Structure 1
Amino acid sequence: MALHFELVTPERLLRSDEVYMVVVPGTEGDFGVLEGHAPFMSTIRDGALSIYASANAQPETIAIEGGFAEVSATGLTVLAERAG
């Protein structure tokens, strides 16, 4: 099973993938999201988003600045002010 992940900025959709796990820099601390995670929302701080394509993969990191993360039944959406 895979987690549906989307990374969105005000300008455009940057990424829409099926991944194993994403670690998000939340304002209350980093949190990891896997398929089936309980729904919730969090603000995010400036930091690195770590995307794991599979369980044993090295993470791909993307720098993000501010925004929100929403975990729902359909997956994880990160709405970042900036990403790159």
Structure 2
Amino acid sequence: MADLHFELVTPERLIRSEEVRMVVVPGTEGDFGVLAGHAPYMSTLRNGEIAIYRDSGEPERIPVEGGFAEVSEKGLTILAEKADITA
């Protein structure tokens, strides 16, 4: 069930804005997964991959460098210094 609003933003542009099932984020204190209804949370990012899970199939993986992630009642927003959408 896709019910988490997810946005991935870089200084250049909005990369993704969609409803997904879950996102796994490379936080500086370790990877963490976000589902709908997650408690408010904020973390800085380490270089790694965001894994975006939709209703079925393998996750989409997007390499990111630096930035931070914020979970709020509106969903998950990742503000990345760089994101490689060609990977």
The TM-score normalised by the length of structure 2 is 0.92
**Aligned residue runs from structure 1 range 1-84, under 5 A:** 2-54=3-55, 56-84=56-84
Percent of residue pairs bearing the same amino acid type? 71
SS in 2 for 1:10: coil
Separation of aligned partners in 2, 1:81 and 1:46 = 10
Gap runs ≥5 in structure 2? none
Unaligned 5+ residue runs, structure 1?
Answer: none
Equivalent pairs counted in the alignment come to 83
Q: Which runs of 4+ in 1 moved over 2 A?
A: none
Tell me the distance in 2 between the aligned counterparts of 1:75 and 1:9: 17
Counterpart code for 2:32: F
Q: What is the distance in 1 between the residues matched to 2:24 and 2:31?
A: 7
